[in-house]
A and B are shown apart, each in its own frame.
Chain A
Amino acid sequence: AQKVTQAQTEISVVEKEDVTLDCVYETRDTTYYLFWYKQPPSGELVFLIRRNSFDEQNEISGRYSWNFQKSTSSFNFTITASQVVDSAVYFCALSEDSGGGADGLTFGKGTHLIIQP
């Protein structure tokens, strides 16, 4: 069965600090997809990134970067020079490829990130 673990329940940092959110996943499939979503206080989930299991290249998008390591089954998310607007709950999620296409996502419990001014 697939599983996503976000061990950090809550992280609090001061603005402009860098912060890394950890994500460890479990799956028996060789083909799978990893995601990060942001859930701000308004509640609506916002897609950040999708990664497939065959692409281990790290990705950078502005202040955001992602480190995918199959050897440790991890897909960590780093925010550089954090800002107050980054405060939210961040979810890591996994989808296995059943061959039929679009499986539902398995989410971790989320990490509540608090950026203090």
Chain B
Amino acid sequence: GAGVSQTPSNKVTEKGKYVELRCDPISGHTALYWYRQSLGQGPEFLIYFQGTGAADDSGLPNDRFFAVRPEGSVSTLKIQRTERGDSAVYLCASSFGPVQYNEQFFGPGTRLTVL
């Protein structure tokens, strides 16, 4: 079956612009996670959805970052007024449920470059 997909694979934007990054989780997975990975670092947790609701958004760095999952499947990460420091690979992962029982499957990521 299909894995987690993310679009676009690459996004180049200018400082101050708005961007949207999309994640299509594995069908049937109720849990969805967003992470950010900077060069040479491990992934950094941003937000977790259980169904349609954000169960934990404690990792979002500031109010320029927002994510939605209106129908409990596809999710969109939205970044307003992008800054050069937002440049990173944004990873999405999904699982059937809690990590203690279920593996998180990761997508290939969206590489965001802010010029």
Contacts and interface: CB of A to CB of B under 8 A. Distances in A.
A104 B41 contact: no
Q: Summarize A's interface: helix, strand, loop or mixed.
A: loop
A97 B59 contact: no
A105 B105 contact: no
A109 B97 contact: no
Interface stretch (B16-24, B43-51, B68-76, B78-86): B43-51
B50 A101 contact: yes
B99 A33 contact: yes
Interface residues of A, number: 29
Interface centre among A44, A97, A106, by most chain B C-beta atoms within 10 angstroms, is A44
Interface stretch (A45-53, A63-71, A79-87): A45-53
Interface of A: 4, 6, 33, 35, 37, 42-47, 50, 52, 91, 93, 95, 97-98, 100-110
Given A103-B48, A104-B35, A107-B43, 13 more contacts: A4-B42, A42-B108, A44-B108, A50-B103, A95-B100, A98-B56, A104-B45, A104-B46, A104-B56, A105-B33, A105-B45, A107-B35, A107-B42
Interface of B: 31, 33, 35, 40-48, 50, 55-56, 59, 89, 91, 93, 95, 97-100, 102-109
